Structure 1
Amino acid sequence: MITIDTFRQLALSFPETTEQPHFEKTSFRVRKKIFATYDSKTNLASVKLSETEQDLFSTFDKSIVWPVPNKWGKQGWTLLDLANIPAETFIDALTTAYRTVAPAHRSDRHVRE
């Protein structure tokens, strides 16, 4: 199980990441762009992926990783069930979301670190 503390620690380890409220959720942003949110009521995370990445992660297990069921899902927003997702898959998805949103010079640097 991925806890909010684990989520927060990993998200804030990325360069220039900030944590801010986003309606009833917690959001993680790089240069004001959201790459992930956490909903404490449902214990779900939402991450911003490309359509291809979303398809790839969703093949893992559609009961654990799936597109947001509306127009946001068609834009790459993907839900992660934090109670059941393996840590490695979560880390990969969050890292991919960061790279999707971060400026190229930041996401490239993080890959090499």
Structure 2
Amino acid sequence: MATGEDLRRIALSLAGTVEAPHFDRMAFKVARIYVTLAADGRTANFNFTPDEQQFKSMMLPDAFSPVPNAWGRRGWTATDLSRLSEEDLENALRMAWAHAQPGKPARR
């Protein structure tokens, strides 16, 4: 079972990642935000591609689901961290982190 502290530790170990407030959440970013963590540390929103979102939601439907708005249609995916192993969390973070690198074009 993963926690908000696990997310923070793993995210900050990824090259170039910084943590900053983002509305009522904490954001982890390189050139752009790739994951946000809720204040209670129980849920997170990942920036996946729509295909990655569909895959994650299919493979771990109890853990991943599209954010229910236009952001969700663009790939932003909500997760209940308690439903992830640390390995699943690290894989999700690395996937989202790869999209946040400098020089990567912003996805629309």
Structure 1 residue 58: Cα displacement: 0.6
Secondary structure at the counterpart of residue 10 of structure 1:
helix
User: What are the equivalent positions in structure 2 for 1:23-62 lying under 5 Å apart?
Assistant: 23-31=23-31, 33-41=32-40, 43-62=42-61
Structure 1 residue 61: Cα displacement: 2.8
Q: Percent identity?
A: 34
2:92 aligned with 1:77: no
TM-score of the pair, normalised by structure 2: 0.87
CA distance in 2, matches of 1:42, 1:9: 12
Unaligned stretches of 5+ residues in structure 1: 106-113
Secondary structure at the counterpart of residue 38 of structure 1:
strand
Structure 1 segments, 4+ long, off by >4 Å, are none
CA distance in 1, matches of 2:2, 2:57: 18
CA distance in 1, matches of 2:4, 2:88: 16
Higher-RCO chain (CA-CA 8 Å, sequence separation at least 6): 2
TM-score of the pair, normalised by structure 1: 0.84
Secondary structure at the counterpart of residue 10 of structure 2:
helix
- Is the CA contact (8 Å cut-off) linking 2:4 and 2:41 kept in structure 1? no
2:77 alignment partner AA:
T
Q: 1:19 to 1:42 in 2, by over 3 A?
A: closer
CA offset digits 1:56-105 (Å, max 9, x no partner): 11112322111101100011100111111122221111110000121369
Which residue in the other structure is 2:10 paired with? 10
Unaligned stretches of 5+ residues in structure 2: none
CA distance in 2, matches of 1:5, 1:61: 21
User: How big is the alpha-carbon RMSD for the aligned residues of Structure 1 and Structure 2?
Assistant: 1.6
CA distance in 2, matches of 1:88, 1:56: 16
